[in-house]
């Protein structure tokens, strides 16, 4: 059985929340524990600076995201865990791929098109007003992240599927142009799990300010759970599980039996306050250990730095070898 390379990156903007945990962190850690997989997990800080222009936030978030992964059980000795900016070969490959990637492909990227659309809606004369090259070329950088390590599987959110299609396109074009099968064509892996909802019932997202931070204190977690939107139904009145954000969040943490018991409690008219206590206890049980580890880790940034440096050493050795082959393929080689 040949092992599969699983690779994913996390952009270092903001503090991870329950949605990131359920949708990305938890499944990636489970996948990395599968002995058939070789996992590459990295902090995408060069992606972070595309949208976030606050240096302190980028820096703090790098610490928070790294500590979150480690606190959630990432085994840095098994997984190759590194920070994008520690692997300069990625940026070199980014340029080489830029020379292969069709401009028209980038014109079709969702993030760029959304920015153009935004300008049109604001009646801006220049459709490219305020759009920077980082945003425009971001799918090429993502391709470089993936292709430098020849990943097979890339777990991502739905919004990233297009970037995987673009990566395949760029890889194919390179292989064809230089008549070498240098790049494997990676596939996106998208979790079937429902998107976790936030305090206001919309998708939980940093952009909506409706998140429950993953490792906030127990007290704050309780307060956040109490803020989850419900309806005006009184205790004793049967409640619907269908449109219940509270029920959806509970489902992401409870086992099927517990979910069935909660569904029955809804039918029997459980009071919202009571249901919230159960939901809080459930989430808190799963996160308590990680929260403690997170606090310990963030208090020792040097320890995280050392872990990332060790990861970078491992990753770089491989990236350098790959880049050598790629440079050679395009004719950048020593004179002899
Ligand atoms: P945000 O929307 O808060 O900015 P990101 O876009 O940084 O989150 O997402 C990082 C990862 O977490 C992605 O893999 C994304 O699919 C996942 N994710 C984000 N929000 C949710 C959610 N509400 N439910 C499930 N997964 C989520
Ligand atoms: N763009 C991804 C996101 O916003 C993060 C990311 C950067 C990534 N490089 C990657 C994901 C490479 C997978 C593979 O979620």
Would you call 198 helix, strand, or coil by DSSP? coil
| pTM for the structure as a whole | 0.92
pLDDT in tens, 67-118: 999 999 999 999 999 999 999 999 999 999 999 999 999 999 999 999 999 9
Q: Are 22 and 61 in contact (CB under 8 A)?
A: no
Confirm or reject: Cβ of 191 under 6 Å from ligand 1. Answer: no
Phi, psi of 165 (to 5 degrees): -65, -40
Greatest CA span in the chain, whole angstroms?
Answer: 85
Which ligand lies nearest the alpha carbon of 41?
2
For ligand 1, atom 15, which residue shows the shortest CA distance?
A: 157
Residues 162 and 101 in one domain: yes
Residues 91 and 19 in one domain: yes
Residue-number span of the structural domain to which 82 is assigned: 4-196+300-330
Return d(Cα 244, Cα 210) in angstroms, integer: 16
For ligand 1, atom 17, which residue shows the shortest CA distance?
A: 20
Residues 51 and 122 in one domain: yes
Least confident of 15-19, 26-30, 172-176, 240-244: 26-30
Whether the pLDDT of residue 1 is over 70: the answer is no
**Across the chain, what does the average pLDDT equal?**
95
Q: Is residue 27 part of a domain?
A: yes
Percentage of residues in the chain having pLDDT higher than 90: 90
Residues 153 and 232 in one domain: no
CA of 123 to the centre of ligand 2 (A): 31
CA of 283 to the centre of ligand 2 (A): 27
Residues 154 and 291 in one domain: no
Least confident of 83-87, 161-165, 190-194, 300-304: 190-194
Q: Is residue 273 part of a domain?
A: yes
pLDDT in tens, 273-307: 999 999 999 999 999 999 999 999 999 999 999 99
Q: How many CB atoms lie within 10 A of CB 2?
A: 6
Residues 57 and 157 in one domain: yes
Whether the pLDDT of residue 32 is over 60: the answer is yes
Helix (H) or strand (E) holding 37, with range, is: strand 37-44
Tokens matching residue 307: 């872990």
Residues with CB under 6 A from ligand 2: 7-9, 11, 44, 47, 142, 145-146, 154, 156-157, 160
Residues 131 and 159 in one domain: yes
């Amino acid at each position: 059985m040949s092992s599969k390379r699983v690779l994913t990156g996390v952009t270092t903007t903001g503090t991870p929340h329950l949605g990131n945990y359920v949708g990305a962190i938890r499944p990636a850690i489970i996948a990395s524990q599968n002995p058939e997989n070789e996992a590459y997990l990295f902090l995408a800080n060069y992606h972070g600076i595309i949208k976030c222009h606050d240096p302190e936030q980028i820096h703090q978030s790098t610490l928070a995201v790294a500590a979150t992964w480690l606190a959630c059980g990432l085994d840095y000795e098994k997984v190759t865990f590194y920070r994008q900016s520690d692997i300069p070969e990625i940026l070199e490959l980014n340029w080489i791929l830029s020379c292969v990637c069709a401009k028209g492909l980038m014109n079709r990227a969702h993030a760029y098109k959304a920015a153009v659309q935004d300008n049109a809606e604001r009646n801006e004369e220049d459709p490219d007003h305020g759009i920077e090259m980082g945003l425009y070329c971001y799918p090429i950088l993502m391709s470089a992240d993936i292709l430098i390590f020849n990943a097979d599987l890339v777990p991502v959110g739905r919004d990233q599927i297009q970037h995987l299609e673009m990566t395949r396109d760029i890889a194919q074009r390179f292989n064809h142009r230089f008549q070498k099968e240098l790049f494997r064509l990676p596939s996106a892996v998208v979790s079937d799990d429902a998107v976790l909802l936030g305090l206001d019932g919309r998708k939980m997202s940093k952009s909506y300010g409706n998140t429950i931070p993953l490792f906030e204190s127990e007290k704050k977690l309780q307060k956040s759970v109490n803020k989850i939107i419900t309806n005006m139904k009184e205790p004793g009145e049967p409640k619907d599980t269908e449109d219940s954000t509270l029920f959806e969040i509970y489902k992401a943490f409870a086992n099927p039996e517990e979910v069935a018991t909660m569904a029955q409690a809804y039918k029997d008219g459980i009071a919202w306050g009571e249901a919230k206590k159960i939901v809080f206890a459930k989430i808190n049980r799963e996160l308590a250990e990680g929260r403690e580890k997170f606090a310990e880790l963030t208090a020792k940034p040097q320890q995280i730095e050392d872990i990332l440096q060790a990861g970078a050493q491992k990753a770089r050795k491989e990236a350098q070898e790959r880049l050598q082959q790629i440079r050679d393929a395009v004719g950048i080689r020593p004179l002899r």
